[in-house]
Chains A and B, each alone.
Chain A
Amino acid sequence: MSERPLVVETIRIVDPARKLDAVGTIVVENGVITAAGPDALNQGRPEGAMLIDGSGLTALPGLVDARVFIGEPGGEHRETIASASRAAAAGGVTSILTMPDTDPVIDDVAIAEFVMRTARDTALVNVFPAAALTKGLKGREMTEIGLLADAGVKAFTEGRKTLADPALMRRIMTYARDFGAVVMHETTDAALAGSGVINEGLYASWLGLPGIPGEAEIIPLERDLRLAALTGCRYHAAKISLGESAAVVANAKRRGLAVTAGVSINHLSLNENDVGQYRTYFHLSPPLRREEDRLAMVEALADGTVDVIVSSHDPQDADDKRRPFAEAEAGAIGLETLLPAALRLHHSGAVPLMRVVEAMTSAPAALLGLDQGTLKPGAPADLVLVDLDRPFVFTEDLIRSRSKNSAFENARFAGQVLRTIVAGRTVFEAAR
């Protein structure tokens, strides 16, 4: 079904892939962008086009979120592909990479195809599955990386887990390199983290909670970067949280390795003190770190050491969060707050708008090899219209995700998504 053409007139266009930040016009036909820029101003419009006046608004490429946990299949009470896609649309996120730690695990072609089929039938946004590095996430046998990649899997990851066996990790990275597959890894040394549930330090000590030292993240990260050098694998450090992690990634990049890194919006926005008195919505993995580390992550984002911002959207139902801190599941939802929370970095002057947007659009699109993440003519018409300065409070009743475990509940933001468009079709429109 082809949509009516769409014209957005006189709108500020921020398109990092083209380093474009200018007022212009966007024209969408047949789900594809045919023009987007100042040169399209006053050039007439296709017949029957729907017209949107973009005065005072900003158009961004639809966000690409490279780390989204969903409960489907197996945990639909927490989140389905459909409910996650509604949350994504409301947050201006038009493409999501879903993590493989579902039940069953996304570790073979049939399950990956099930996710893609379900997404096609029920999702408002583009859904790309990531597959496991090892069968059943058991850390023993590698998955069919070639077949999975051919089936449309965009990246390989153990989800929340870290592959402990360095020999297997080496072989997987070597094999993945031959297929040009991206290996994404979240690094936590399980033995060193032990029973820890919060950043190790004075704050944890007063709360009487077992801490996780930063070295639990850095040691396996350094191992992986050495294996990336050895194998030449395209490696992505999925979610780093420490200034020292950024330093070792920067060093690997200086050596010319095919390495990138991501950070969650939580670790750019919050620190260990936000845990307060055992607030389980702030029980995250990796744990929220010291303020010095948060500032280091912001700096690493600004200077490009960290390439990608992710929501690390991780729905947990109330029963799994309303527990003593150490017994509560880790994770927070984030699809709906990714953009407004990231815009805080722009509003505070910490990171230029262009760089903030790049880290959520063209950078993750490049990582995953997607055509999305840009507004250049010919690209899929995935875009989001934002009032960058409009204030709002993120109250619980706004949450569209099936789970309510937000680390930004009642947060004040400036920057509201007014309309989200996927392939030329409006999938979200804010109430005026």
Chain B
Amino acid sequence: MIAPAQSLPTGRRHLIGIAGLSPQDITELLDLAEAEVAVSRQVEKKKSVLKGRTQINLFFEASTRTQASFELAGKRLGADVMNMSVASSSVKKGETLIDTAMTLNAMRPDLLVVRHHSAGAVALLAQKVACSVVNAGDGAHEHPTQALLDALTIRRHKGRIARLVVAICGDVLHSRVARSNILLLNALGAEVRVVAPSTLLPSGIDQMGVRVFRRMDEGLKGADVVMMLRLQRERMEGAFVPSVREYFRYFGLDAAKLAHAKPDALVMHPGPMNRGVEIASEIADGPASVIEEQVEMGVAVRMAVIEHLIGLSAEGNT
């Protein structure tokens, strides 16, 4: 058991995290997402399975890409989608998360897609509303749809997840993407590695089901997948690593470092990228990169998740 024993309120109604999903749950979602990829590649991209249903994207933390991806996913399923951006700075003091949740709940949506800067906030909100909730990222906790889209991308290229060597590189400490990926990849039987300076690794990382490396050449040796993480700007200049140039020198993915991975290794990044910080442009745009495909899979995975949660509840499940 590598995750906390109590699982989050996942299952039928909500998707709060990868924790609590069984390998079978994950595989089912990936299979469903595979079918949604086909939908998105048709000329006519719209299904009607969620016709008349309302999806609200509630983003307490700005994110153009994830919000657009969820919006498109909802629309392609036929739902009415509304975006609410509540940049944390503009939330008036006094209006708590719970107040916001209750207000939106009163509008009787069928689905809330929530991103929040604080770990656990989405689960808290899910307790207070009557509809399904999808976690679009909560603090440094989880970002389950990102891990699912990463898995779908990998599976389409490698045919499987089990026994692949996946190296997750960079700011694991602050990364919800890393946590969700560690959980998912372990659940499906991959060998997970993390590569980072120790100042960017969480306490107890060696007990989180990963092998820990502090050097890229060692961590990438024989890797099937190299997953780069974004380094936030405010963490680049002295607080966690000394400088951008030093970080890039030792931990940025360039051709020389990538050469240690398998020749057919995939390069991934959850975006948005800092070119020249964690990844060199030639790699980001090179033949090993599947970064754009990740964006495409993102829409498909989110369609699958939404359809699974509220498409099912349409069949009599409240």
Q: Is the CB of B208 within 8 A of A324?
A: no
| Per-position 1/0 for A318-335, Cβ under 8 A of B | 010011111100000000
Contacts of B203 in A (CB 8 A): 200-202, 204-205, 211, 213
Contacts of A319 in B (CB 8 A): 96
> Any chain B CB within 8 A of the CB of A349?
no
Contacts of B207 in A (CB 8 A): 202
Q: Is the CB of B204 within 8 A of A201?
A: yes
Query: If the complex has contacts A206-B179, A324-B97, are A277 and B139 also in contact, measured as CB distance less than 8 A?
Result: no
Q: Please indicate which of the listed interface residues A202, A324, A327 has the most CB atoms of chain B within 10 Å of its own CB.
A: A324
Question: B32-40, B120-128, B212-220, B248-256: which one contacts chain A?
Answer: B120-128
Please report which residues of chain B, range 1-49, place their CB below 8 angstroms from some CB of chain A when the two chains form the complex. 3-4, 6, 8, 19
Q: Is the CB of A207 within 8 A of B120?
A: yes
Query: If the complex has contacts A201-B203, A201-B204, A324-B97, are A206 and B3 also in contact, measured as CB distance less than 8 A?
Result: yes
Q: Is the CB of A325 within 8 A of B179?
A: no
| Per-position 1/0 for A204-229, Cβ under 8 A of B | 11111111010000000000000000
Please report which residues of chain B, range 280-298, place their CB below 8 angstroms from some CB of chain A when the two chains form the complex. none
Query: If the complex has contacts A202-B207, A209-B139, are A277 and B6 also in contact, measured as CB distance less than 8 A?
Result: yes
> Any chain B CB within 8 A of the CB of A203?
yes
B53 shortest CB reach to chain A, Å: 28
Q: Is the CB of A208 within 8 A of B139?
A: yes
Contacts of A209 in B (CB 8 A): 119-120, 139-141
Q: Is the CB of A205 within 8 A of B204?
A: yes
Contacts of A207 in B (CB 8 A): 4, 119-120, 141
> Any chain B CB within 8 A of the CB of A278?
yes
Q: Is the CB of B204 within 8 A of A324?
A: no
> Any chain A CB within 8 A of the CB of B202?
yes
Q: Is the CB of B202 within 8 A of A205?
A: yes
| Bound-state Cα–Cα, A203 to B2, Å | 10
Question: Which B residue's beta carbon lies closest to that of A211?
Answer: B203
Q: Is the CB of A325 within 8 A of B96?
A: no
Contacts of B19 in A (CB 8 A): 206
> Any chain B CB within 8 A of the CB of A48?
no
| Bound-state Cα–Cα, A326 to B120, Å | 9
| Per-position 1/0 for B122-148, Cβ under 8 A of A | 011000000000000011111000000
| Bound-state Cα–Cα, A210 to B203, Å | 10
Please report which residues of chain B, range 102-132, place their CB below 8 angstroms from some CB of chain A when the two chains form the complex. 116, 118-121, 123-124
Query: If the complex has contacts A323-B97, A326-B119, are A208 and B8 also in contact, measured as CB distance less than 8 A?
Result: no
A97 shortest CB reach to chain B, Å: 33
Chain A interface, number of residues (Cβ within 8 angstroms): 23
Question: Which A residue's beta carbon lies closest to that of B19?
Answer: A206
Q: Is the CB of B124 within 8 A of A278?
A: yes
Query: If the complex has contacts A205-B202, A205-B204, A278-B124, are A324 and B118 also in contact, measured as CB distance less than 8 A?
Result: yes
Question: Which B residue's beta carbon lies closest to that of A203?
Answer: B4
| Bound-state Cα–Cα, A362 to B115, Å | 52
> Any chain A CB within 8 A of the CB of B176?
yes
Q: Is the CB of B123 within 8 A of A278?
A: yes
B187 shortest CB reach to chain A, Å: 14
Please report which residues of chain B, range 68-122, place their CB below 8 angstroms from some CB of chain A when the two chains form the complex. 96-98, 116, 118-121
Contacts of A326 in B (CB 8 A): 118-120, 139
| Per-position 1/0 for A187-209, Cβ under 8 A of B | 00000000000001111111111
> Any chain B CB within 8 A of the CB of A276?
yes
Contacts of A327 in B (CB 8 A): 118
> Any chain A CB within 8 A of the CB of B205?
yes
Contacts of B97 in A (CB 8 A): 323-324
Q: Is the CB of B6 within 8 A of A208?
A: no
Q: Is the CB of B204 within 8 A of A202?
A: yes
A13 shortest CB reach to chain B, Å: 44
| Bound-state Cα–Cα, A319 to B96, Å | 8
Q: Please indicate which of the listed interface residues B97, B138, B140 has the most CB atoms of chain A within 10 Å of its own CB.
A: B140
Interface residues of B (CB under 8 A from A): 3-4, 6, 8, 19, 96-98, 116, 118-121, 123-124, 138-142, 176, 179, 202-205, 207-208
Interface residues of A (CB under 8 A from B): 200-211, 213, 276-278, 319, 322-327
8 other A-B residue contacts (CB within 8 Å) besides A204-B202, A208-B179, A278-B120? A202-B203, A207-B4, A277-B8, A324-B118, A326-B119, A326-B120, A326-B139, A327-B118
- 10 closest residue pairs by CB, A with B: A202-B204, A278-B120, A208-B141, A208-B140, A324-B118, A205-B202, A324-B121, A208-B119, A325-B120, A200-B203
Q: List 7 A-B contacts (CB under 8 A).
A: A203-B4, A205-B208, A209-B140, A210-B140, A323-B97, A324-B121, A326-B139
